[in-house]
Every structure is written in structure tokens, then in C-alpha cells.
Chains A and B, each alone.
Chain A
């Protein structure tokens, strides 16, 4: 646009993508804060960070899904406005989303030409695409049957179709958002070969991931994001997984919780060879063996998407599985009539779910009705055989809200009107106060402010001190380290190993989380 810039571009040193001072807020949440980054053409640039670090938001801005509040985008040295996806495509940017944007009952060819057809008739467009696809396939090792329907293809192949779509649109900058999340290791290796080939052909690739192994294996440079900010950009060969893990997790003041050493008792939870296959036929739990004792917090560390959510779902009674789960020595129903959430609660399992908005609360219900959610059959909420005791429910809610310091302490306020931390306190108050034998806790402090974090942590430890068993799942390593009495690391549906918190550190756990087993590991 500006003359000087064009000259810069001709000097062939202009980065393929340069972002300057990008900021984006969603309401009070600052998703991206003053982010600057520059990616050289013909390289693979990794962006790594934990969930919610702001990686996807940044890339959505680049692909025209969101408009940045501030900042500039330069493509090959030229400032470019990207108001919509069309503009991104014109600028040569292609994106492979985490959730594929494919029409399932269309053929590969039809998906590829959608939006970039030549002329009003399909036949010539398809014929041209067929030819182009063949040459692309030969060039980049991207072999897909062009006539196959998407719904008949595996996820790995579907992903190749997404890449083909981008290449067919002559993208020379390719963004992949968590591309290996849904792939098997073999498929991931295949993908990396393809990406290497693309780089050798001069394409620029941005790889968004939270997996250290992938960064080390394939990228040339890597940027680390944390809490909406870009904390570092380094050459991959000059760094190591330990350093990246540290950058990713951060070194902020640890919220050390005062706690006395655990005094574990009998086994409360026994899991043997637990396997679970999801709706898409993907095996999510691949033979889990775990136990949690009374008076103990078992922390499960792991990058999200490695089966922790599924483990909680099975335990909480909303997913079926095979294998064996025992509570206090007695097996529980995993598939039948008594495998639902109500039966689990009756067996003494309370559950603070990972996603309080999707599962833990009815957002349009007032707080007092949410206090009974899941326990609405329980004796204390009933007035007589037919009716529930609303007045008593309000009373109980008021009491819990006062004691758990929920603000504002108004039972008639709808759940959606509370802040994340206070919503979570409502859930925690409900579940902990049932005096369960086993408490399942998923991401207890996700989207929760510092003050509430401390409070919630204290409640969890308090329950442990009463001799209850706690199974804690969190992607926040520091949370795992500060709360757990024992730590198990999950990766790809397996338990990679167990550690004692005082005998390990973030570096070691980070490697286990990345699927790297150290020598002499169990």
C-alpha cells in the first residue's frame, strides 16, 4: 500500500506474516494483548500455549473471523485489512480449523471447489479441480480419492482434504489449529511429512498446538503464548522442551496452599482396565488403572484432550465404558440402568464438572434452583410426596452462598448473572456439602479469579482432611502440584506414570504430559 513497503518487499526479506500490536477483548476478557509476531516465508512457525492462552483468537483474527481491536497485519510486507474470510483467502491465507469445515455428504472434489468454482456450471469446475488435485497430490504426497464422500473418510484423510482445499485456493500461508488433536500418532507423522514437503516448496506454515513434542519435531521457530500475551519467540533449535514448558506454564507466584500431610486410608475408588469409545468410534480411554484412597487428593495432569474429560464423564455417569470401577469395594454399573448421574450421586460420588456452563449449572435458573441441581430428589428439598420445598431450597441456598462467600449472595439471581468464580463457588458449594465419599473435580479454577481460586482450593483440601477421596483433573500444572497428594499423568488415553508432588517438578510432568517417558519409568 505504501511505496516504501513495496520496496521492502522487493528486497525479499519481508516476512510472510507480520502482526503488530494486535489486541482483542471479549467483554472484560482480554484474549489477545499487544501481540507482535513475524513469520519468515518458507518456514514452519509454531505457536504454543495452554488452552485459553489466546492462540485460536489470534489466528481467527488473521483469517477474518474476528476483527482486532487494535493492531496491524502485514502480509509479505504489505499492510492488509482482513475483514472477512474472503479477504484472507485473497491474501493467500489458508486455514485448517480444529473442527473441520467440510460438508459431510459432499465428495472431496465438491468440498475443494466450494466457493472457488470456475463459472456457473459444475462439470468444468470439477474437471479442472480433478486435474489440479492430482498434481497437488503428486507434489505434496496428499493422496485422497477425489470422488469419495467426506463421511466415508477417516479424520486423517479429512484433514488432508482441508489442506487440499487451502492449496487449491493457492494459499501460500497455511495455518493449522491443533491439527493433531484428532489424529493417531501414525497419522500425525504422515501430516508432518506433508507439512515438511509444503515448507520445502516454499509455503509458510503456522502450527498452533499445545504439544511440545510437535513443536520440537517440526517447527523452525516457535512463539509461546500465555494468558493472551506473547511471552517469547525463539528458534526451535536453540531451545528445549523443558524451557518451553516453563515458558508455557509460567513462573508466577505459586499459590501454595497450607495443608497438612495426607493420611490416606482405604481405597475409595478403584479403576481397572477402563476403556471408553466415543460417539465417533475413537477410543478415548485405553485401559486406565487408578485408585484413590480416603483422605487423599489424586491429581491427574495432562494436556486437555488426552482422555481426562472422558474419565470424568464415565465416573460422573454420563458416558458408558467397559472395565471395572469400584466404590468402597463394590462395583458400579457402567452401561446399564444404574449408570446415570443420579445413581452415581446415590453411590456417594459428587462431581464438579469441567464445564460449569455446559454441565454444572442451568444458566437461566436462579441460584437457589441450581443448588439442588442433580440432588433434586434428595429428602431435604422435599416438602411432601408431591412438592418440593421451595422456601427451604432458598434457605439452604442462602446459607451455602453465605458460607461459600458467593457474591452477590442473592439466591434469586440467575446463574448467568454471576461471575465465573462465583458460579464455580455455587457448584463447589453444592457438591462438597453433599459430604460425598468421592469428589470428582474438573478444572476447578478455569476462568476463576485469584481470590476465588484460593477459596476453592481450601474447600477441596478441607474435604480431604475430613477423610474423603478427591480426584482432581486440571490442565494447570501448578494447581496439580499445589493440591495433589499424588499425581498421575494422562496422555493419549493412558496413564503415563505416577509421581509424588514433592519428588517431581513441572519439567518432568511436562515431558510426561507430552508423551515422553523418562528412563526407568514405571
Chain B
């Protein structure tokens, strides 16, 4: 028999984990001499009070959907991909190269440019995950360590390229030339205008949001309906049983990591192509790491990831508004992010054990 009902596992425990994380965050705000409730109201207003706020919230949400899905696929295969940050950076490089160097005659419309950019971003991101995956599969070196290393190497590589070869000549900033106009993606403002909905012109949310939503569906189908997803999940649950079933561990490790890297890389269509429209140094802004919190909170389910990404999108946008209107710096969201990962990830048992005991005791009382 199960120790507790499924709804407790799927909803109650994550809710309690989150609650603890948020209460502690509130206490942190209180401790630095601010009013947590007022802060919360400011954040809600900043994130959802205007189409401008919505535009930023959804922009961040888009980033986090990609990175959250990426981390969740690796988690499903029982691997911890901390390298989303680096993979997204290198994915951005791929997107940038596609936008800068594919002749515009081949890209007569932004949709075609987007296809090219997506392919390039996915390939670059997957490639950046390949070496850690290979080392895990063949040498047993922990993918966690190697992906961390690859994050730093990615930072250095991007630094080198944007100060050297890819830098726009004569410019002060470490950034590439602007992408050709044809590669610029329509923003929500442009997309919604024909429908008669007026949306903030300056907000960065763009068509990538819909790609991200579609990606949730694709990942759902991949993981829950395809043979590959079946094999990935089986391997993650039980490597020994997988071998019995004829599933190759080497193949699964490499494929799952490359998928994870590819989806991280796709994040760049939102940030690099959609927002910055050129290669810059820190386009990822830690979204790769937030993906970890998003995946943990979303229980590795695409729909959960979507909700968690929206929550973090809100925190991100609300947090930056908060830093404008109060003395609370943006880093508050990093604290919340840390607490969410801690309580939903590492300290899960702290909540789970007593809740389980409670249900067992309740079941016993019923029996008696």
C-alpha cells in the first residue's frame, strides 16, 4: 500500500515546501526592515499591473520554461544538469551566428530566420552538453562537476569572442553587430495589435513565448508518449531494470543530456534574438540556474514547469520593480530561488516524513 494518497505527493508536499520557502523569504524581507506584505503588493503590481509588467513577466517566463524543461529532462534520466547556463550561452552563440552570417537572401522572412536560429541554437546547446554527457556515460565522471566547468568555459569563450572576433569594430561595448532587421522577432505588441489588443511597445515578450508553450507540449509528448521518453524515464527510475529491457544506458545518458542542452540552447531565441537582437555578454542572466528551481518546483512535469516558470517570471519582474520602488535589491529573488531549491529539492524529506507519518497515523485511526 502507498504511504499516502497521490494528491498529497503531487500537491500537498510541494505546496508545504513552497510555503516554508516563501514564509522564510518574507522573514528575510522583514529582517532587513521592510514590510513583506507591502513588498508583495509592489511585486504583484509591478509584474501584473500593466501590459508593460506583463510583457516583462512573460519574457522571463519564456526563458524559464526553456531552461526548466531542459533541467527536467535530465532529472527524468536521473541526471543533474547544472550546465543550463552555459548551454544557453552557447545556444545564443549559435543563434547569433545564424542571424549574423546566414545571408539574408536565404532568410526572406522572420519565420525562416527563426527556424534557422532554432536549429543553430539547439545544435550548439546540445553540443555543449555532449562532452559532459560522454564523460558521464563512458568514464562515470559526474555530470554535475563537468557541466559546472563547462559553464565557466562558456563564459570565457563568450568573453573572448565578444571582445575579439565577433565584436563590432569600433564599438565600446563587448557585443556583436546588431542582427539584420529581418531576423527581429515580432513582439507581443506587434502580434496583438491586429487583434485590437493594445500591448506595451517596450516590453520584450515576443513570439518565442508561443514557441516555449509549444515546447511544453512537445516535451510532454516526448517524455510521456514516445518510445524515447519511455526509455529515458525507465532508465531514470531503474538503470538495472532498463538493461534487462534492452535499453542502453550509454545511449540514454547521451541523448537525454543533448536534448537538455538543445532546449537550453533554444532559450536564446527569446533572449538573444527576441530581446537583445545582437550577441551580448550576459544574455542568459542566470536563467539556466533558475531552471533548476523551476524543474524541482514543477516536479519535472511540463505543466508544472510552466506554472513554476510563470511564478519565477513574476518573481523576476516583480523583484526588479521592487528594487526600483523600495530599498529591497533585486537579489531578493536569488534568495527566494535558493530557498525554493533548498526546500523543494534537498529538504523534501523534512516535510515528507512528518506528513507521511500523519497519513499513516490517520489511516491507523480509521482502521481501529
Contact = CB atoms under 8 A, between A and B. Distances in A.
Tell me, yes or no, whether A binds B: yes
A369 interface: yes
Interface in A322-342: 340-342
Contacts of A353: 244
B240 A358 contact: yes
Contact of B230 (A364, A376, A386, A417): A376
A374 interface: yes
B108 to A, nearest CB: 30
A345 to B, nearest CB: 7
Interface of B is mostly: helix
A318 interface: yes
Contacts of A247: none
B2 interface: yes
Interface string A352-393: 010000111111110001001110110000110011101000
B245 A387 contact: no
Given A376-B227, A376-B231, A417-B1, A316 B244 contact: yes
Contacts of A365: 233-234, 237
Contacts of B1: 417
B349 interface: no
A521 to B, nearest CB: 35
B241 A388 contact: no
B246 A345 contact: yes
B238 interface: yes
A417 B246 contact: no
Given A387-B225, A388-B227, A417-B1, A341 B243 contact: yes
A373 B221 contact: no
Contact of A362 (B2, B226, B241): B241
Contact of A374 (B221, B226, B245): B245
B202 interface: no
A107 to B, nearest CB: 26
B326 interface: no
Contacts of B233: 362, 365
Interface string B19-62: 00000000000000000000000000000000000000000000
Interface in B75-127: none
Interface residues of B, number: 21
A360 B231 CA distance: 14
A388 B234 contact: no
Contacts of B248: 340
A362 B246 contact: no
A341 B244 contact: yes
A337 B284 CA distance: 41
A40 interface: no
Contacts of B227: 376-377, 382, 388
Contacts of A464: none
Given A343-B246, A345-B246, A377-B227, A361 B2 contact: no
Nearest to A359: B244
B201 to A, nearest CB: 40
A374 B231 CA distance: 9
A364 B237 contact: yes
Contacts of B244: 316, 318, 341, 351, 353, 359-360, 374
A317 interface: yes
A55 interface: no
A468 interface: no
Contacts of B246: 317, 340-345, 374
Nearest to A345: B246
Interface string B214-257: 00000001001111001101100110110111111000000000
Given A317-B246, A351-B244, A388 B238 contact: no
Interface in B1-22: 1-2
A359 B240 contact: yes
A376 B243 CA distance: 14
A362 B238 contact: yes
Contacts of B234: 362, 365, 373
A343 B245 CA distance: 10
A358 B244 CA distance: 9
B225 A363 contact: no
A340 B240 CA distance: 13
A386 B245 contact: no
Interface string A408-436: 00000010010000000000000000000
A393 to B, nearest CB: 10
A376 B233 CA distance: 13
Contacts of A373: 234, 241, 245
B237 A362 contact: yes
Contacts of A342: 245-247
B240 A390 contact: no
B235 to A, nearest CB: 9
A222 B148 CA distance: 59
A314 B1 CA distance: 34
Q: Which of B233, B237, B243 has the most CB of A within 10 A?
A: B243
Interface in B175-224: 221, 224
Contacts of A382: 227
Given A342-B246, A344-B246, A361 B241 contact: yes
A373 B234 CA distance: 9
A360 B230 contact: no
B237 A363 contact: yes
A354 B48 CA distance: 58
Interface centre among A344, A369, A373, A377 (most CB of B within 10 A): A373
A417 B234 CA distance: 17
A382 B234 CA distance: 17
A317 B248 CA distance: 12
A388 B225 CA distance: 5
Interface of B: 1-2, 221, 224-227, 230-231, 233-234, 237-238, 240-241, 243-248
23 contacts: A317-B246, A318-B243, A318-B244, A340-B243, A340-B248, A341-B243, A341-B244, A342-B246, A345-B246, A359-B240, A359-B243, A359-B244, A362-B234, A365-B233, A365-B234, A369-B230, A372-B230, A373-B241, A373-B245, A374-B244, A382-B227, A387-B225, A387-B226
Given A342-B246, A369-B230, 17 more contacts: A341-B247, A342-B245, A342-B247, A351-B244, A358-B240, A360-B241, A362-B234, A364-B237, A365-B233, A365-B234, A374-B246, A387-B225, A387-B226, A388-B225, A388-B227, A417-B1, A417-B2
